[in-house]
Amino acid sequence: MDALDSFTKTFLTATALGKLPTITVARHAQVLRGCAGDRDEVAIAALCQSRQHRRNVFMLTRNRLVVTSESAVLRRVSLHLNAELHQVADVTWTPEPGRAGVQLGLTAIDGVRENFWVRLAGAAEMWRLDEALKQAFRTPWGVVQPAVAAPVATAVKAPLPELRLA
C-alpha cells in the first residue's frame, strides 16, 4: 500500500471530523488539491454558504484559505476563493454555539469583502475552527495545526491476579 501524502491524510481526517458527505468530498477534492498541493496540511474542511452560492466547501490549510462552489443544476465545482493566509485582510469571525457554526467575514486581495456562514458538525468542531482562525490570523507567525483524528481508546489489560491454592 502506498503511503498517503500530507494533503490526503489530513484532508480525509478533516472531512471526517467535519462530517462532510462523501459525494461532496469526491466532487470538490480535485479542485481543493489543486489549490493546496500535496504537501500542505488541512486543518479544517466544512460546508459553508455565501450570498451567491448555497453549496460551498471551506478549507483552511497551514498556508491557504480555499472556498469552492458547486452549481445548483449541473453540480459543477468551481473555485470561489483561493488565497494565501497573508493575502487575506480584515478577517472577523463570530462563533455561534447554538447553531454550531461560524459567521466569517474577510477581504480578499482584490478588495472584495466576502461573508460566509461555515456550518460545522458540532460545538467541538466550531471551537476547533475558532482556534485555527486565531492561530492563522491573530498570532504573529501563527502555525495552523492540521486535522488529527481522535485517538482510539485502547483497553489496558491489568495483570491477572495470582491464584493460590490453599
Q: Could you tell me the domains of the chain?
A: 6-137 (2.30.29.30)
pLDDT of residue 138: 85
Beta-bridge partners for 48: 56, 118
Instruction: Identify which has the larger pLDDT, 127 or 152.
Output: 127
Could you tell me the pLDDT band of residue 160, with boundaries at 50, 70 and 90? very low
Task: Using alpha carbons, list the distances in angstroms from residue 1 to 4, 6, 14.
Answer: 9, 16, 22
pLDDT at 17: 92
Query: Which whole number is the average pLDDT over 14-32?
Result: 93
Mean pLDDT across 2-7: 76
* Tens digit of each residue's pLDDT (9 = 90 or more) over 63-111: 899 999 998 888 889 999 999 998 999 999 999 999 989 999 999 989 9
